[in-house]
Structure 1
């Protein structure tokens, strides 16, 4: 009898833990209801009832813009809601054969038809329209061009021919005479000029004398994308993301991923920042245009509404981290110092310090496997998460065809970066 009671208590604890972590309790639903009543623009029409969550989302993942953090929350949302994420074929790696323009043939057949797409690509409107459902919401994110270019110059210094030509890898030297080092046809040249423009499918090398091009390009992006987030105002951007997708607060909880170590960053002088914006003139126009657009949309919601929702988001994040890691945050460390190799983010070179997360020691073993996976996926890096999703979706793709004597699922990654592998990482830290 005592053993039976113990099993019942363990089962109840597991269910409660998952419920609390995945939905943060009914408290957040009630808070969201109050928030809608305080935010007229978020309130559904009285006759329509609650809005259903929008589940078809195309995220154009730009470079060095906090896009890995957005991708992670999209992946977690897709898994919780049993959605299909379009993923690259193995020949493309973890990106859709970037920098080639996106093509539907780059999508792994086990991940079709998709609801969500979010790995790096070069945007091609026609190809994405053919792939994604008609009611897909398109979202992307931009970052202030000077800060972004400093990050690109550091991150891709050993992978971009233009940057490798610069003596001693000097950003100042490059910006003094950029045409001395830059070749549009070079491998990796998309990292060296107007990277945002290139990622969005535009002409990174359009003559600066044609200012009308930047205006027309921004107008086209605005026509297609339901939301252009701004990295410097990340939480405020998530307020708008929740609004256009009708998502819950816990759907946009996040931790920052793929950030550089402070020692790898450089503070820019106003003069240097101005040179970067001049060199990346289309990116600068895009950023200024959509930064202003973001704040107009936030103003329409009302500052009190936005401030309140940002506070609630930050409280929700703290509660989830506390629930996942017992009051101790996941440990932010340089990639090479992370004990669990499967949690290490990709590092472009030894000269660039990329931060990732390690698990606290002596984690509680009271969580169910589902709760452990939820917590781990908050801190899993992009490459590993892509493999996890491809593995799980390949299994789901073959499941109707499997029998007791079927062979293992072909053409899907194996190894420790699967759901069971993640559980073992958590167990080893316990």
Structure 2
């Protein structure tokens, strides 16, 4: 037994391929640019042009900080966020946060599925509702029946869909000198629409489901590797694991923010420049792009919606399932067979099916997205505060409490989201 303990506390073997080190952070960051996010970024570029590019840069370090802290919580404690909240905080905080997370995620699933079906219809024609149902079923089947290690590789490759938005920039005319000037010295406005858009972008970029997903994926990665244990119990594995988390998250959130930057840039250089300033959905952005930027840009933009949706759906449904499982002490892992984690997989299926059903109701998807953003903006604040408190608690983190630089940046991100939430309530009351 002593031999086993010593081996399990050996440092992580250095992975020779940098690509193998990318996982939870890359997938989480890429999933942030879902069809709903694409719609938000498109509206920002269409309405305010290059004067909204700065926000993609400002949100980057804030996003990295809170996601690194979430990942460390999972890897150090060996448990997801919901389990840690249940163990250390009041039940009403846990139940309230998880309930609102479920509502927001289900609405996001509905909006993303609708956008994916509409985008596929734009490219190949045919029945939008059939495409929507087929894509929803495909996502569920992949999550439930494809082995975890294989499915993670699929998600990694799906991140390439995001580069459709980088490629789009190079098929339209971009005034690069103006872009640089407006990014570094934007013409800011204190008008209601401008501030509301900033709130929307913040709420889209820093969302609770991303915290739950990345923490839980770190636990999955730990369980999937022989000899790996929670860092609190095996500190010798800490240095290599924390280096991997940092690199993975910096790259993953970098991909997310670069793509957001390019979506704002593309729509600013095309739609805003031609007077198209009101974009409600990602599919509408693609349609508006076609006569201005050409069919190739339109096709890239549309196919990117489908690809990013397939990447985001498992993150939305999976984070809801991890949160519920951690709350009620259910067995949970995408590596388990469905019969061994029935309730965990049931949440994945139900949240996707409910999202599908919402697409066949009279619920306005634009209003649904608005309320989803409001809920995300509100829910993120207490969850981020709890994450920050847990990250400095030795009972949770052992000797791996977060360093000062992460504490400062994490609290700045939390305060920024609190300000965004207050701004939402202020605008709602006017």
TM over 0.5: no
The higher relative CO (CA closer than 8 Å, separation ≥ 6) is in 2
Q: Report which of the two structures shows the higher radius of gyration computed on alpha carbons.
A: 1
Normalized per residue, the structure richer in strand is: 1
Shorter-chain TM-score category?
under 0.3
Provide the TM-score with structure 2 as the length reference: 0.27
